[in-house]
Amino acid sequence: MKLHLVGWSFHGTPVEFRDRLSLGETAQVELADRLRNRHGVRELVILSTCNRFELYCAGSEGTSGTIIKTLVEDLGELQLGPTAYLLEDIEAVRHLFRVTSSLDSMVLGEPQIFGQVKDAYRFYTEAGWTGKLLNPIFSKAFRAAKRVRSETGIASNAVSVSYAAVQLARQIFEDLSGLSVMMVGAGEMAELALEHLVRNGLRRLMVVNRTFANAVRLAERYGGAAIQFRELESYLADADIVITSTGATSPIINVPMVQDCLRNHRGRQMFFIDIAVPRDVHPEVHDLPGAYCYDIDDLQNVVSVNQAERLQQAEEARQLLEEELVQVRHWFQELSVVPAIRKLRKTFEKTAEAEVQRFLNRSKLDAAESEEVQRMVRRILNKLLHSPSRTIRKFSGRDDQPLLLEFLHELHNLPTAPESAEPIRKQHLSLVKR
């Protein structure tokens, strides 16, 4: 059984096309049913995220090309054809390993993709779409990804401005759960920083914005309180962490304001994340005892250093994945000779069954005696086929495997040509050593 991978990702497919591939669970199941009816797909997992849409198929009667043609026609998006990538067997597994380990992500080492792959696999397993091929492959992918996480530092350093801000906050405040954050403005990076802070346990939130409706929207999304912009200074002292991202042309938070806050804090520290350009927080705030202020340049410097470190860790991760792939490659090689073993057994069993039936038709054995004869023949068959089956498995991975399987089929007059046979250049074989 062959593994097919058909996919589109941020590497070569523009976001406007990827949006059209975003299918809900119901639409995915309907697509899976069409692939089963048209191409005989027996196992399937669809991975659909904002950055990729991939189908891992097994048992298909068609090729990756015919599957992608069906997808393009069904979706009515002929432009998708040229940007698709098609991989099979070990190359498809290598790609899955890289995806699950976040080596193929837009942000190298990001942790979300591991959970997304697990969720997709769980959904299709519960729907009865995974089996003898996809179950062990995805299990091995999860094992490989966990090794990458535990044995390399690929995810230990922030490579986005928003996450870098959170890491700096954790260095200053070890525990974020009891702190209060004020978000000033509604910039994208500031909101991402807020999202990371909430994931790290932050519970108390105030949102300040010139457009009060936007403050209400964000406050409701993250379970916080919306504050009018004119009340910023009144509530500033209640915040331990302040994130700013406004369009102001001059600082909206100055030194006297922060000095008053620090006095009210009674020794507690304040942390400012200023992602605005020009800056929202006066640079001299950072010089105040107990105040820490980082602007976009500070955070970008952290990101640049961490990106270089992640690239080095990624190379170690790739080598680790190649170690894991060695076992998968051996497994695929063994699978390639399984059809020949099955055909050999089926041929022997058919011959034995015919002879046993001929004997039973002539004999006067009762039902119990007839069953005992059949059991005896099955035991003999199993013993006779045990050694040849082991020997055939040893063929897997050899350069002359197609030639040996072809010889096996001719020797035992097996019904069809070996499934794994490919056109080969037969070397000259001599029975006499020279």
Full pLDDT tens readout for the chain, 434 residues: 689 999 999 888 887 777 778 788 898 998 888 888 888 889 999 999 878 999 999 876 666 677 777 777 776 666 677 888 999 889 999 999 999 998 998 777 877 889 999 999 999 999 999 998 899 999 999 999 999 988 988 876 656 777 777 778 887 887 888 889 999 987 677 777 778 888 878 879 999 999 999 999 889 988 899 999 999 999 999 999 999 988 888 999 999 999 999 998 877 899 999 988 889 999 999 999 999 998 888 887 777 777 777 788 888 899 999 999 888 877 766 666 566 667 777 878 888 888 888 888 888 888 888 888 888 988 988 887 787 777 766 666 556 666 666 666 666 667 654 444 333 333 333 333 33
CB atoms within 10 A of CB 331: 17
User: What per-residue confidence (pLDDT) applies to 433?
Assistant: 34
Instruction: Answer yes or no: 57 catalytic.
Output: no
CA distance 370 to 359: 10
Q: Domain boundaries in the chain? A: 3-151, 161-300, 337-412
List the one residue out of 337, 347, 331, 351 whose CA is nearest residue 389.
Answer: 337
Burial class (CB in 10 A: 0-12, 13-18, 19+), 287: exposed
Pinpoint the alpha helices (H) of 24-111.
25-39, 64-75, 89-100
Residue 224 DSSP one-character state:
-
**Which of 50, 57, 261, 293 is the catalytic position?**
50
CA distance 219 to 241: 16
Instruction: Give residue-wise pLDDT tens across range 248-294.
Output: 889 999 999 999 999 988 778 999 999 888 899 999 999 999 999 98
Instruction: Give residue-wise pLDDT tens across range 148-177.
Output: 988 988 876 656 777 777 778 887 887 888
CATH number of 3-151: 3.30.460.30
* Common-topology check for domains 3-151 and 161-300: no
Four-way CATH pick for 161-300: 3.40.50.300, 3.40.50.720, 2.40.30.170, 3.40.1390.30: 3.40.50.720
User: What per-residue confidence (pLDDT) applies to 430?
Assistant: 33
List the one residue out of 98, 65, 107, 63 whose CA is nearest residue 84.
Answer: 65
CA distance 343 to 143: 34
Pairing label, strands 204-209, 3-9: unpaired
- Written as six digits, the tokens of 384 are 């006779």
